[in-house]
Structure 1
C-alpha cells in the first residue's frame, strides 16, 4: 500500500555543551494520506569538508489512509556534495491502534514547493 502527501517541519536546535554533535527536536505536521503529527529528536554531525550524517527517532500519531493510531520511524542519513542516502523505516512492533502490525519505509521528497512524502507500507492482520 502507499500513502502520499506533504508535511511541514520545525527543527529546534538544542544546546549540548558536552557531545560534539548537533541535536535538534523534530516537530512535523503531516497532510494527505498521513494526517497527524510527528515528534522526535535528531543527532547529526557535519565534517569540515561537507560530509554529514544524521540519525533520528520520530513518533507519528494520527491516521494513515483513514486508520488511526501511530508508529515509530527510524531515520538514517548520509550526505556528501555528490550524493545523499536516506533510509527511513517503521520500527517493527511499534504500531498501535488500528496501525498495529504496520511495517514499511518512508521516502522524503524535497523540492522548491516544500517537503512531500511517500509511505510504502503493509498492515498485517494478526
Structure 2
C-alpha cells in the first residue's frame, strides 16, 4: 500500500509586500538525454538525464536542468527528482527562476510536486512563489502554474 499524497503549505509572502495570485497555462516540449551516472549500484536501476524544455503559453521560456530517477523491481513503481532553471517571460514579466521536482509512481499511480525554489526569482520575477502542475494528454504536455508575485 502506498502512503497518501500530502499537500505542501503555501509559501509565505514577502513581509510587508502585497502579492497577486495568478494561474498561467500552456504547453511545453521536453527533451531528455541520458547522462553518465556515477556510483551506479549493481543492477543499474538509477539514471541521470539532462532535462530541457521549450515552454509556450502564459509562460514563454526555455529550461535547462538535470533529473535523477530510480526504478524498482515492482512494475509501475519509480521515483525521480529534478532541478531546472527557467528563463523567459511570465505573463510579460521577464526573468528567471528555479523549479524543484519530486515525483513517485506507485504501482501506476503518479504523485508529483513541482515548486519554485524560494528566493530563486530574478529580474521582474523576484519574489515569485508557486507550484507547477503537469498533465499529459493526446501526446502533449500541458502545464498549469499557480503562482504569486509581489
Query: TM class, shorter-chain normalised?
Result: over 0.9
TM-score (ref. length: structure 1): 0.94
Which one has a larger percent strand, Structure 1 or Structure 2? 1
**Which is higher, the Rg of structure 1 or of structure 2?**
2
Runs of 4+ displaced beyond 6 Å: none
Contact 2:74–2:107 (CA under 8 A) maintained in structure 1: no
In structure 2, distance between residues paired with 1:122 and 1:106: 12
Match of 1:97 among 123, 127, 131: 123
In structure 1, distance between residues paired with 2:111 and 2:95: 29
Return 5+ residue gaps in structure 1 as ranges: none
Q: How does 1:1-126 map to 2 (within 5 A)?
A: 1-16=22-37, 18-20=39-41, 21-50=46-75, 51-124=77-150
Return 5+ residue gaps in structure 2 as ranges: 1-21
TM-score (ref. length: structure 2): 0.80
Aligned Cα RMSD in Å?
1.0
What count of residue pairs does the alignment treat as equivalent? 124
